[in-house]
Structure 1
Amino acid sequence: MISRRSFVLSSAVLAAPAIARAATEPFTLLLDWFVNPDHAPLFAAKTCGAFARAGLAVTMTAPTDPDVPPRLVGAGKADACLSYQPQLYQFVDKGLPVKRVATLINQPLDTLTALGESGIKTIADLKGRKIGYSVEGFETVLIGTMLKSAGLTLGDVTLVNVNFNLVTALQAKEVDAVIGTYRTYEDIQLAQDGLAPVIFAPEDYGVPRSDELIVLANDKSVGGDKMRRFVAALGEGVAALKSDPRAMLAGFLKDNPSLNDKLDLASWGALVPGCFAPEPGALDAAKYRRYRDFMHANGLIARALPLDDYAVATKA
């Protein structure tokens, strides 16, 4: 699990609007983390009545332990969960019976970030500096790949595990840069605090592009009617975000009033214009194969399995 934020437990039960037909079938979705603007299509699908029209009573629950949701889905204890494309390969590599069935955010959001006052302007400027990270193995591979683009290696920097305290470590000058900030969240926070973040996108420095936020389901349910209805409703939520963003934001804030703040509103504004997959069930096979090969080549997974073992397209 790659996460960049302090955990705050939050959950929301999605009740259908009175104008829609009664939802009759429960659907349990475990979130990747606490409720935040990354989840906008889910709340939009509720607000516009898409879940109710699909005949689903959707319950979203934030985990107390973000590593647990994929295991619960693999054990058949929940209908689906949110996760990340890089972790998908590791789950399957370990024998967890899950597959990607849909995408919420179809582009990477991770960044390697330094502060303007650090004097770091290029990847080459990281030589001799301290870089903070949170996830052993995966993030160190990302750092190494990015350094390679400037002719550097991991031996040219000092790695410091900051245990997800990315912004705090930067502000306290414990490190000169961190990997794992979101360009739609922490990087905005740093800019709002007047710290002039210098942002490096991994995909510009040798790391393949990936989907940031995806929906995983148990192997046995990926082709079922219930899952197709859920994914179709999710697509309606994305369309509603595009056609009536003000109403969808109002619905989101009604369910999550604590997020009506400067940072979360700015994050929402950065995400809504184009970060959400317009067709959540569509699968970019080439993207998933490229990232599988990247993971395998860097020793992050033991096997490079056929695409169907990791992900499927879900048609309405």
Structure 2
Amino acid sequence: MTRRPLLLTCALLAALLLTACGEKPEDLSDERPPTTRLSVLLDYLPNANHAGIYQARESGGFAKAGLDVDLRTPSDPATVLNQLTAGKVDLAITYEPEVLLAQAAGKDVTAVAAIVTKPLTSLISLPKAKISKPADLRGKTVGTAGIPYQTAYLRTILREAGVDPSDVKQVNVGFNLNRALVSGRVDATLGAYWNYEGLELERADRKPVVVPVDELGVPRYDELVLVARSRTLAEKESGVRRFVRALANGYEAVRRDPAVGTEALVKANPDLDRGLQGAAIRRTVREGAFFPAEPRRPWGWLSTDDWADYGQWMVDNALLTRPIPLDNVVTTDFLPGEGAGGEGRKSPSGAERPSQVPEGVRGP
């Protein structure tokens, strides 16, 4: 008795199931698609948060997906979104608050995947400051990087702790957060990451007290997201979809074995401290920051519920003014299994629920 009819039936069933999950035909083919060139601008210098990106490149994931990817490092992190909206790059990595601010200012920026799915920004202090809880900030000096929403984070934390903001001195120390903390210039910092500056202090045996902002009253948000212009999403739809799929595979490989992420990252950037980067990647994987909190969601998932909550927080803190729909702010259509027929949307035209984020930036 031949097994061919049974095998054929199973193959057809598998194809139907994959189609029902919203996969695009290109994802099911073993044939390499025509090469698509994509320029991708990082948010900052290469670091542990980019481990899956470098793993995808080093393992040949981009090439296998028919992609010629030009990874770029910004000369000035503050100009990343300006370069994207000017069409100088196809894709960029930035922060959820920056996406909302850009959209409110009328810029064409859409988030297509979450790179880091929870806040890394933390309140950090050293034992000598005797800050075991937010209420202990009364009478202390807190250093930030001078970013407006970090000031709002501090206000929220103090309000939750019942501390009058006038009882806490805030100092802009730029990006020298750990230096300001160790030197004693400030008693605590707000703006450094638990998976980098916090870990760096820990490795130096300084016994830091590190608390992420979402544990102190700030709504959960995606620390890092992949963004694009609507024109790029339309003209390079297939390429963007394949790039996101390659990233998903890269970050999955890093989750299985953080060492492959460390190797790829340091090989591409030899000046990095291998020990620190390896420890940061392991910590980030352990804390589940590279994947959504809901296991059934694909890598890169963007929760419009969380985005709406964070957007409302921005309104409440005078960072933005009037609400706008999330339709053009986020799309999950480019994620694995979320294409046509999936839960996502490509040219953003809906949301998981009627949700809005603020439109308009407070002030000039």
Q: When the two structures are superposed, what TM-score results if normalisation uses the length of structure 2? A: 0.77
Structure 1 residue 243: deviation in Å?
Answer: 3.2
CA shift for structure 1 position 52: 1.1
CA positional deviation for 1:138: 1.0
Q: Residue 160 of structure 1 aligns to a residue in which SS?
A: strand
2:289 is matched with which residue? 275
Residue in 2 that maps onto 1:12:
none
Helix, strand or coil for the counterpart of 2:158? helix
User: Deviation at 1:310?
Assistant: 1.1
Q: Deviations over 1:174-224 (max 9, x none)?
A: 111110111001011111222211122211221000111100100222352
Conserved 8 A contact 1:25-1:57 = yes
Moved more, 254-263 or 159-168: 254-263
- Conserved? CA contact 1:23–1:52, under 8 Å: no
For the pair 1:102 / 2:121, whether they are aligned, the reply is no
Counterparts of 1:62-141 in structure 2 under 5 Å? Answer: 62-141=73-152
Distance in 2 (alpha carbons) for counterparts of 1:136 and 1:80: 23
Please give the alpha-carbon distance, in whole angstroms, between the structure 1 residues aligned to 2:276 and 2:256: 23
2:58 & 2:257 partners in 1: Cα distance? 11
Residue aligned with 2:122, SS: strand
Whether 1:289 aligns to 2:312 is no
CA contact (8 A) 1:48 1:240 kept: no
Structure 1 vs Structure 2 CA RMSD: 1.8
Instruction: Please list every run of 5 or more consecutive structure 1 residues that lacks an aligned counterpart in the other structure.
Output: 1-19
Are positions 1:198 and 2:209 aligned together? yes
- Does structure 2 retain, via aligned residues, the 8 Å contact 1:30–1:60? yes
1:238-269 per-position Cα deviation (integer Å, ceiling 9, x unaligned) = 12213343334323322222224332221122
Counterparts of 1:218 and 1:95, CA distance in 2 = 12
**307, 313, 316: which is aligned to 2:326?**
307
Q: Distance in 2 between matches of 1:193 and 1:299?
A: 38
Change (3 A) 1:132 1:93: same
Q: Distance in 1 between matches of 2:257 and 2:170?
A: 45
Cα displacement string for residues 31-59 of structure 1 (whole angstroms, at most 9, x for unaligned residues)? 10101111011011112322112111111
Paired residues, number: 297
Moved more, 153-162 or 31-40: 153-162
CA distance in 2 between counterparts of 1:245 and 1:169 reads 31
Letter in 1 for 2:245: A
Find the residue that maps to 1:230 and give its secondary structure: helix
Question: What's the counterpart of residue 33 of structure 1?
Answer: 44
CA contact (8 A) 2:119 2:220 kept: yes
Q: What SS does the aligned partner of 2:239 have?
A: helix
* Other-structure match for 2:25: none
Identify the residue that residue 8 of structure 1 maps to in structure 2: none
How big is the shift at 1:21? 6.0
**Aligned match of 1:146:** 157
Moved more, 134-143 or 119-128: 134-143
What are the within-5 Å matches in structure 2 for residues 153-232 of structure 1?
A: 153-222=164-233, 224-232=237-245
Cα–Cα, structure 1 residues 151 and 91, in superposed 2: closer, same or farther, change >3 Å?
same
SS at match of 2:56: helix
